A = this chain, B = another copy of it.
Amino acid sequence: MPRLESSPLGLTETLSITFAAGPDKFKLESGQHFGPITVAYETYGTLSPQHDNAILICHALTGDAHAAGISSEDGRVGWWEVLVGPGMPLDTDRYFIVCANVLGGCKGTTGPGSLNPATGQPYALDFPVITIEDMVRVQKKLLNYLGIERLLTVIGGSMGGMQALSWAVQYPEMVASAIPIATSPALTAQGIAWDEIGRRAIMADANWDHGNYYAPGHPRPDAGLAVARMVGHLTYLSEESMSNKFGRRLRNRDRYSYSFNVDFEVESYLQHQGEIFNRRFDPNSYLYITRAMDYFDLRGQDESLTETFARTKSDFLFISFTSDWLYPPSQSQLMVDALREAGRGEAVEYFDAISPYGHDAFLLEAQQQGPVIRRFLERVQREKF
């Protein structure tokens, strides 16, 4: 039986469900059939008898199912704790909230590090290349299993926003509203280029070994993954916030060392980001998930963005951040314009928040996003259920 009640926040637990293989194998965008698929997920709050309060949270590139509360497994705080909890804008006293690790991930959902039942070995690069659409279809299976027929909203930032958009296009009847934050209908050339650099950095590490580093005793491509993470992390910050936080301050010294050691605070910070990421992420998952982001293009084949949005039935709340240069506000504005052109202008709200925190603002700016999200959800629940 699916579990429809949350642990009290407080402690939250990651559950999992496995969808059958065999003739029921999951058909991927690429045409390949794949399975079984295990999905790791958490739920918070309780599904109402009317089933009018279900929210799906979609995570970004390096996230996981643990969006809120204290992990019963390792004590970690959820990655979106600032927005999700009792009395919070994503109110666990009021809504039934689901968050699942994406297909291709490394936090409990099937990914390249999972065992291939056909061989008893990790898939590594035998894992199929997956897409944002595939991630969403797996989430759909989970919601079916949980007995959720219709979502009050699907919400997420960055790659999570891509999933929210894909939900609204793939399952228009099932999505009363979507809240795509700091996201884009398709990566720009620059976005693809950053992803490609991250992948090249991982593959350039001799320990990557064409993806076959899982055997006990085989070293991991930690140096390469650290470089990929440093590149990614830097694109999530704004020049302004970095200047405020680090400037040219030296680390534990008052003059240059005239060496390649860490002299500047910002070097120390970056290296630390690279190192802690190694402890928590699988390099092959980084390859697959960034590839899914590159491939994402909300438009259907031979469609304009306007035509695609004309097929949606959700209300939309777009949020962007002024200093986000990776997913700039202009990308959200594009979508708002397309919806208006599609005659769906009344279904759209757009909030371009003034923030110095760059792309990372979607994880940080609770004070700004919170009230806007809260009001939007209350209105949608009132009007569309």
A197–B266 CB distance below 8 A: no
Given A196-B270, A260-B291, A294-B264, answer yes or no on A188-B224 (Cβ-Cβ < 8 Å): no
Question: Does A226 belong to the interface (CB within 8 Å)?
Answer: yes
Task: Tell me how far the C-beta of A249 lies from the nearest C-beta in chain B, rounded to whole angstroms.
Answer: 8
Q: Could you mark each residue 226-270 of chain A with 1 if its beta carbon is under 8 Å from any beta carbon of chain B, else 0?
A: 110011001001010011011110000000101110011111001
Question: Does A271 belong to the interface (CB within 8 Å)?
Answer: yes
Query: Which of the candidate stretches A79-87, A102-110, A149-157, A199-207 sits at the interface with the other chain?
Result: A199-207
CB-CB contacts below 8 Å: A56-93 with B: none
Point out the residue from B129, B190, B200 that lies within 8 Å of A239, measured CB to CB: B190
List chain B residues, Cβ under 8 A from A274.
200
Given A224-B204, A256-B295, A294-B264, answer yes or no on A247-B129 (Cβ-Cβ < 8 Å): no
Question: Does A364 belong to the interface (CB within 8 Å)?
Answer: no
A258–B192 CB distance below 8 A: no
Question: Does A334 belong to the interface (CB within 8 Å)?
Answer: no
List chain B residues, Cβ under 8 A from A21.
none
Question: Does A189 belong to the interface (CB within 8 Å)?
Answer: yes
CB-CB contacts below 8 Å: A122-148 with B: 125, 128-129
Task: Tell me how far the C-beta of A328 lies from the nearest C-beta in chain B, rounded to whole angstroms.
Answer: 8
CB-CB contacts below 8 Å: A263-312 with B: 263-267, 270-271, 274, 287, 291, 294-295, 297
Point out the residue from B192, B204, B246, B265 that lies within 8 Å of A266, measured CB to CB: B192
Task: Tell me how far the C-beta of A320 lies from the nearest C-beta in chain B, rounded to whole angstroms.
Answer: 15
List chain B residues, Cβ under 8 A from A205.
204-206
B129–A258 CB distance below 8 A: yes
B226–A30 CB distance below 8 A: no
A246 to B190, CA, bound (A): 9
Residue of B nearest to A238 (CB): B190
Task: Tell me how far the C-beta of A67 lies from the nearest C-beta in chain B, rounded to whole angstroms.
Answer: 29
Question: Does A350 belong to the interface (CB within 8 Å)?
Answer: no
B188–A242 CB distance below 8 A: yes
A246–B189 CB distance below 8 A: yes
Residue of B nearest to A244 (CB): B189
Given A206-B206, A226-B204, answer yes or no on A260-B287 (Cβ-Cβ < 8 Å): yes
A164 to B242, CA, bound (A): 27
